[in-house]
Each structure stands twice: as structure tokens, then as C-alpha cells.
A and B are shown apart, each in its own frame.
Chain A
Amino acid sequence: MKARGTVHKYGDNVDTDVIIPARYLNSTDPKELAKKCMEDIDKDFVNRVKHGDIMVANKNFGCGSSREHAPIAIKASGIACVIAETFARIFYRNAINIGLPIIECSEAAKEIEAGDDVEIDFDSGMIYDHTKNTSYKGQAFPEFMQKIIQAEGLMNYINRK
């Protein structure tokens, strides 16, 4: 499994309230949520983002509320993978459970910049920045997590078991 796209870059402690503000939580529709994704810290994100793009942030990405609407909004906006130094634990589980690939890599999170052309190989955990000609070794998923992501989420995975 691979992903390649343009990077959207954020800082530390991106919380789920800014990923998808509570005022939009009366909806459960991924397409509707995607239209409001990142609105409170990056109003233009929804206009810039293209299918297959990559989101990169620093530490504690997805902290705060347990709303699964947050990774759902990111995935439905077209983002193929989120790279961060660390993820808040509930967000980490939610992302895997809904089939949004995420990868922890401290160096990549620090060095990759907005607009870079980045490719990720999920099997090996390798991250390639084609703009900077650099590569990083991220944490590869354990096998069962890869299977959940390939099944497009936990529920399909449980059915297949």
C-alpha cells in the first residue's frame, strides 16, 4: 500500500475541535464534515486539498475530544495519510478503525514542509520527500492494523474474521 501527494503542514497539539468544530457535530455525513475540515485553523484547506494529499503535523495530533468525526472529516476531504511526531491516543485508534492511514515519525514531521511532494510506503514505513530528496523511516503498522486499514475499517475487518 502506498500514498503520494502534496503536503499540508500544521504544528503541535492540533485538537479535534479545530479539525471539526463541535458546531458541525450534528451531522454524521462524511461529505458534509469534509466541507468544514480544519476550518478554525486553516480556512483555505478545503479549497486547496486534492485527493491523495498528505497531512503533516508535529506532536500530539488529534488531542481532545473523542469525536470520530475528526478522522472521518480528514479522510473524506481526500487526505491519504497523516504523518505526525505523535498522535493523541483516541485519535490514533479512531483513524485506524475508520481506515485512515497514519504514521508516527518525528524527523519527517519536523523536516517536511508545506507543499512538498511526499510518498509513503505503508508496508515498510518508509517516507520519501521527493521535493527535498530525503527519506525517513516511520513506524510500520503491525500486521493486524494493516489488515484493518486494508479492510477500510474495523467493522469490515470483524466481519471478515
Chain B
Amino acid sequence: MGMTMTQKILAAHAGLESVVAGQLIEADLDLVLANDITGPVAIKEVGKLNKKTVFDKNKVVLVPDHFTPNKDIKSAENCKCLRDYAKTQELTNYFEVGTMGIEHALLPEKGLIVAGETCIGADSHTCTYGALGAFSTGVGSTDMGAGMITGKAWFKVPSAIKFILTGKPKKWVSGKDVILHIIGKIGVDGALYKSMEFTGDGIANLSMDDRFTIANMAIEAGAKNGIFPVDEVTIAYMKEHSQKDYTIYEADEDAQYDAEYTIDLDNLEPTVAFPHLPENTKTVKEAGEVKIDQVVIGSCTNGRISDLRAAAAVLKGRKVAEGIRAIIFPATQTVYLQAIEEGLISIFIQAGAVVSTPTCGPCLGGHMGVLAAGERAVSTTNRNFVGRMGHIDSEVYLASPAVAAASAVTGKISEPTQLGL
């Protein structure tokens, strides 16, 4: 029986010729990741193990990105725990404030993960690297800790859902709109325990950044991973960012899928997910008048350079509406610098937005943009659960950078075409 792309990667890393959905396997890991929230728990757990040395000091990545720059004393202690551990274990991939970025933008940018590899990360959005044709999935701290020491993890081989993307998205429609549309269609548990495998000629019309955004939110449909085939765009990205050898896996023609969906990219509209689940999607045209208090542009979902370019194209020569707080946070230092060199940061500041250092802070209501009771935000992040960005009576509307920027200008949910763009 044929295998999906994910199954092929897992089989190769388990030393097996083939695997089937439901099979329990132990796979070798190429990369293991944690951050300042999940890392300290993993390090504490690892303290219980007899063996305490990491399996490979080049393959364990620690990134203090959530509550950094340290937001309070407890967060500072957690970051110190991470830093001390990295030092003791002589890890080559610990990224201190100043060199760090939001982990899921940082790892591909640093070339630490390439096609055909396996990665577990103690962060649910680890599924982002599926955009490169890798198998990557989020786990908890204990799994991460065990993986960090043994270089292995157990998996139940997932079945898959196939998404055939066709056509070309129109102007102002991005990867964010594609994935919000899909989650709206299948629901927040629509891909529970499964792989989301993307395929089809429409992929050629999606940039690498669009693909990262789509794979990033596979978890928001409950998926184990989201994965894209490797094409010229992927190869160009990997060559630019990494020295590592990559392996291209392709799904067999007779691979089995639990379901298939065809998504015509031409027909997609700018889309927003209403509170309090990412599946509550409407097009901006259907949204009605929703007044807002804050706009957040950035995160592991939408803090890459093309996201900032889209926001800048909308904000150029315009002003953030009176009373609206617009917070823009580039995902990595490299993205930040590039945005400065391209003049994007000047556009943001002239528009009346604030620009932050890379941090996960506002996305999870940690710091740098927490909401009060009754406040509403349009955010390019990934979750709009109750209390996600602050008070339990606040609301988060998920959207693309272009929609978020247009909403900042009007003070209500809007799309760029409403500004004559």
C-alpha cells in the first residue's frame, strides 16, 4: 500500500521500509526544540533521568522567546535556567536576546531544519517546518526532554487529509487567508491526530512565507503536522539559508487519504476568524461593522518579511486611526533589520504604530500588548481563545497582515480594497 509524504519520512527515520497509519514506531530525531516556557519544565524532568547528557549538542535548540526580554522576575529565572543549561551542555544553538527571534521563524532562517528531517519541539507551532517538507510536530516538555537525551521519540503513524490547492490567490489574499478558510471548513478538530498534506499546482503561487503561515496553523485544526511538497521555491530557500543536506520525499500515487478537499485559491477572500475559535471564519465582506481597540501584526504565524511588506504597503502614507493601538513585531532580528533597510519601519512609525523587538508576548497575553475587559483586537497571530490575549472578556479576531493593517487605519475590521488599494 502506498504511503503519504509524512509516512515516508517517519518510516525512513524508524529504519523501516514502510509504515501504516496507526502503527506505533520509534523514530530518530534530527532536531529537538524548546523555549523559555517549556524548556525549564523539560530540564526539570530530565533531572529525573539517569542519563543527563544531550544526545547531540548541535541538534538541541533552545530559544528564549516567549516572555523575553524578561517580563518579570519569574520569567527571568526561567530564562536563566535555559541559559545555564545551554552552557553546561555546550549547546551550539542557544539564541540569546539580541540574536534570537520567534522560534518558528528563526529555525528555518538559521537553516537548522531542512526537507526530509524530523523535528519535535515543545511548542505547538513546531508544525511550521512542514512548509519545508520536513516532519515536525509539537510535543510537551517531557517528550521534548526525553527526545533531547535519547534523540528519539515514539509516534503513532498518522493517517492524512489531502488538500489540493489550485489557482492563484488574488491581490491581498495570503497564506493566512488560505489556512483560515481551511480551518473554517474542517473545524478545530477537523484534522485531529492526522497529517494535513498540501498538494496541487496552486502551491507554486504561494511564497515560502505563505507556506510557513499555512503549516504553522495546522495545529489549529488539531493536526499532528502539516506538510508541503518540495519544489523550486523550497530548494531556493534552503540553499539561501542552510548548508545541510536535504532529502525530498514524495507521497506515493496510491497513498491512502481519509478525505480530500480541493481549494480554489482564485476564489478566496480576505478572511477573519471571530472569537473564540479559529474555525469561526467569515470573509471581511461578511464581517459587518466590528470596531476594534488594538491591532497586532507579527508572531510565528505572520512576522516574516513578506508579512511586514504587506502591512507597510497598506500603511504607507496613512495613519493609524485615533484611539487605536497598532503593535508590530518583526519575528526575528534579521527580519527586523531587513525591514529597517527596506524603509518599512519608518512607514510604521510615521503611521503611528509601535514596533517591538521579537517576542511571543502579545500573542498569548504575556506582555507587550495585553487586552483589558471589553477590548477587541485584530491580530495576525494564531489563536483567539477566551482570554488568549488578556482579560477573559476581551476578544481576538485573527486575520492577515494586510487586513490587520487596513483595520488599524479604519478602526474597524476592514480590507485593503476598502482603502482604495
Q: How far is the CA of A97 from the CA of B37 in the complex (A)?
A: 18
> Do A159 and B48 form a contact, CB below 8 Å, given A94-B142, A97-B140?
yes
Interface positions of B (Cβ within 8 A of A):
24, 37-38, 40-41, 44-46, 48-50, 66-67, 71-72, 74-75, 78, 122-124, 126, 138-143, 145-146, 150, 188-189, 192-193, 219, 222, 224, 277, 364-366, 383, 385-388, 392
Instruction: Say yes or no: A93 contacts B48, CB within 8 Å.
Output: no
Instruction: Say yes or no: A59 contacts B74, CB within 8 Å.
Output: no
Instruction: Say yes or no: B142 contacts A155, CB within 8 Å.
Output: yes
Instruction: Say yes or no: B189 contacts A154, CB within 8 Å.
Output: no
Q: Which of A16-24, A45-53, A119-127, A131-139 contacts B (4 or more CB under 8 A)?
A: A16-24
> Do A28 and B44 form a contact, CB below 8 Å, given A15-B385, A17-B386, A21-B365?
yes
Instruction: Say yes or no: A18 contacts B385, CB within 8 Å.
Output: yes
- Residues of the A chain whose Cβ atoms lie less than 8 Å from the Cβ of B41: 28, 68-69, 72
- Residues of the B chain whose Cβ atoms lie less than 8 Å from the Cβ of A159: 48-50
- Residues of the B chain whose Cβ atoms lie less than 8 Å from the Cβ of A93: 139-140, 143
Interface positions of A from 70 to 97, Cβ below 8 Å from B: 71-72, 86, 88-90, 93-94, 97
Q: How far is the CA of A90 from the CA of B37 in the complex (A)?
A: 16
Instruction: Say yes or no: A40 contacts B40, CB within 8 Å.
Output: no
Chain B min CB distance to A110 (Å) = 16
- Residues of the B chain whose Cβ atoms lie less than 8 Å from the Cβ of A66: 38, 122-124, 126, 138-140
Instruction: Say yes or no: B143 contacts A154, CB within 8 Å.
Output: yes
Instruction: Say yes or no: A98 contacts B222, CB within 8 Å.
Output: no
- Residues of the B chain whose Cβ atoms lie less than 8 Å from the Cβ of A67: 37-38, 140
Chain B min CB distance to A55 (Å) = 18
Instruction: Say yes or no: A63 contacts B222, CB within 8 Å.
Output: yes
> Do A158 and B383 form a contact, CB below 8 Å, given A28-B44, A89-B193, A97-B142?
no
> Do A22 and B124 form a contact, CB below 8 Å, given A40-B387, A59-B189, A89-B192?
no
- Residues of the A chain whose Cβ atoms lie less than 8 Å from the Cβ of B150: 158
Q: How far is the CA of A108 from the CA of B219 in the complex (A)?
A: 26
Name A96's closest neighbour in chain B (CB-CB): B142
- Residues of the B chain whose Cβ atoms lie less than 8 Å from the Cβ of A64: 124, 219, 383, 385
Q: How far is the CA of A98 from the CA of B366 in the complex (A)?
A: 25
- Residues of the A chain whose Cβ atoms lie less than 8 Å from the Cβ of B78: 26, 28
Q: How far is the CA of A6 from the CA of B321 in the complex (A)?
A: 52
Residue A25 interfacial (CB < 8 Å):
yes
Instruction: Say yes or no: A22 contacts B364, CB within 8 Å.
Output: yes
Q: How far is the CA of A64 from the CA of B123 in the complex (A)?
A: 10
- Residues of the B chain whose Cβ atoms lie less than 8 Å from the Cβ of A40: 386-387, 392
- Residues of the A chain whose Cβ atoms lie less than 8 Å from the Cβ of B46: 155
Instruction: Say yes or no: B222 contacts A88, CB within 8 Å.
Output: yes
Chain B min CB distance to A69 (Å) = 7
Residue A60 interfacial (CB < 8 Å):
yes
- Residues of the A chain whose Cβ atoms lie less than 8 Å from the Cβ of B38: 66-68
Q: A86 contacts which of B72, B74, B189, B383 (Cβ < 8 Å)?
A: B189
Q: How far is the CA of A41 from the CA of B387 in the complex (A)?
A: 10
Q: How far is the CA of A69 from the CA of B140 in the complex (A)?
A: 9
Residue A106 interfacial (CB < 8 Å):
no
Interface positions of A from 97 to 123, Cβ below 8 Å from B: 97-98
Residue A153 interfacial (CB < 8 Å):
yes
- Residues of the A chain whose Cβ atoms lie less than 8 Å from the Cβ of B75: 26
Chain B min CB distance to A67 (Å) = 7
